[in-house]
A and B are shown apart, each in its own frame.
Chain A
């Protein structure tokens, strides 16, 4: 037990150093494996495992036993019980048990003004009943459905928190939390489930003033969503970024950047950095990202690691860039060589921890033995 406590202390120090911009003793290893991948790896049926809370601990325990990590390595966010109870259109379970996200439109074009006037009222009265069909009913039935859904939400996150804490103690993981909350960037919030991908692209060109007003109106809600009750050490607000790579720079500068920056700055002022999942290729926007508060964490998917290190690496913390597809197509030796290449570019000077460019989604999309080989290699060799 003393050894595990010492290990946890050492790993906590690694995370504390990297998050503060100090050079740690070695590169921290922080993989984020999806629960779906983990269930399949553990040899369980995904549909059954995803529906039943009690499977989360044994599945995660198996992952913790077999894959090196300095931080609790499993992420889980989509709960079928919740979405089924609500009659969701936005998250639907496929035949294999995966939660899939079809294009949805929660906000009609003619409702922009209503949303701008009071986004939260519009969410409650128009958007939720449109996306969650079981809320589009009489007040009594709706209140019962909401009560059940809220109970499921708390049961699921309560279970995840309990299991993560228990296994962190068991395996000596760092005392850190990089996912305290997960607000969207304001433009993404309006795009993702309110207007939908196709509509928002038209809106940007046809009614940019409405889009701008909507994005500004919802910003305080997203700052509130990411605000921690009490900021804890070694923690971060997680913010996945979606739409910018599909935008012209002039639209990005006007409609995406100002409120996104406002959110990240607001969290920094509260003493909590933001972990940005920089999805797709943001190389066009690196100069913008540089302007964010110091030690913002940037988990890059695609792009040029050298250019990113050069442009933002002296001020911000970088992770990602290791192509998860490599873990499927290449040999273990080639996978390790790729890790060396990525580390040689990103680790010098600190402000870097190891993670893949995205989370492996299914067992069939990666070779788990390659994941193990890479994580072990980084843990044993990426010393400063």
Chain B
């Protein structure tokens, strides 16, 4: 999806090289979960 308002974890990680592998393991699912939740919310507003 070509947009500046939604990022996959891989895209987010590429912008944050400071994130260690240990941090990534702990945070990736939660961070991506909020990204998905906001996407679902925005789309709901147009149905």
Known A-B contacts A121-B4, A221-B1; the reply to A181 vs B40 at CB < 8 A is yes
B46 touches A123 (CB 8 A): yes
A193 touches B46 (CB 8 A): yes
Pairs A–B under 8 Å by Cβ, sample size 27? A106-B46, A117-B2, A118-B2, A120-B1, A120-B5, A120-B6, A120-B42, A121-B3, A124-B3, A124-B5, A124-B42, A128-B42, A128-B45, A131-B45, A131-B46, A149-B41, A181-B40, A182-B44, A183-B43, A189-B46, A193-B47, A221-B1, A221-B43, A222-B43, A224-B1, A224-B39, A225-B39
B35 to chain A, nearest CB (A): 11
Chain B residues whose C-beta falls within 8 Å of the C-beta of A117 in the assembled complex: 2
Q: Would you give the 0/1 interface string for B10-47, flagging 1 where the beta carbon is closer than 8 Å to chain A?
A: 00000000000000000000000000111111111111
CA distance A344 to B6 in the complex (A): 50
Q: Taking beta carbons and an 8 Å cutoff, which residues of B are in contact with A?
A: 1-6, 36-47
CA distance A189 to B38 in the complex (A): 18
CA distance A246 to B44 in the complex (A): 24
B42 touches A184 (CB 8 A): no
A43 to chain B, nearest CB (A): 30
A225 touches B43 (CB 8 A): yes
B41 touches A150 (CB 8 A): yes
**Using a Cβ cutoff of 8 Å, how many contacts connect chains A and B?**
57
Known A-B contacts A120-B5, A121-B5, A221-B1; the reply to A153 vs B44 at CB < 8 A is yes
Chain B residues whose C-beta falls within 8 Å of the C-beta of A132 in the assembled complex: 45
Kindly state whether residue A192 has any CB partner on chain B within 8 Å: yes
Chain A residues whose C-beta falls within 8 Å of the C-beta of B4 in the assembled complex: 121
Chain A residues whose C-beta falls within 8 Å of the C-beta of B5 in the assembled complex: 120-121, 124
B3 touches A150 (CB 8 A): no
CA distance A131 to B1 in the complex (A): 23
Kindly state whether residue A194 has any CB partner on chain B within 8 Å: yes
Q: Would you give the 0/1 interface string for A11-36, flagging 1 where the beta carbon is closer than 8 Å to chain B?
A: 00000000000000000000000000
Kindly state whether residue A230 has any CB partner on chain B within 8 Å: no
B40 touches A225 (CB 8 A): yes
B1 touches A220 (CB 8 A): yes
CA distance A220 to B6 in the complex (A): 13
Chain B residues whose C-beta falls within 8 Å of the C-beta of A128 in the assembled complex: 42, 45-46
Kindly state whether residue A236 has any CB partner on chain B within 8 Å: no
Chain B minimum-CB-distance residue to A86: B45
CA distance A131 to B45 in the complex (A): 9
CA distance A193 to B3 in the complex (A): 21
Q: Would you give the 0/1 interface string for A292-321, flagging 1 where the beta carbon is closer than 8 Å to chain B?
A: 000000000000000000000000000000
Chain B minimum-CB-distance residue to A188: B47
B26 to chain A, nearest CB (A): 19
Kindly state whether residue A127 has any CB partner on chain B within 8 Å: yes
A153 touches B41 (CB 8 A): yes
A200 to chain B, nearest CB (A): 14
B12 to chain A, nearest CB (A): 16
A118 touches B41 (CB 8 A): no
Kindly state whether residue A229 has any CB partner on chain B within 8 Å: yes
CA distance A123 to B39 in the complex (A): 11
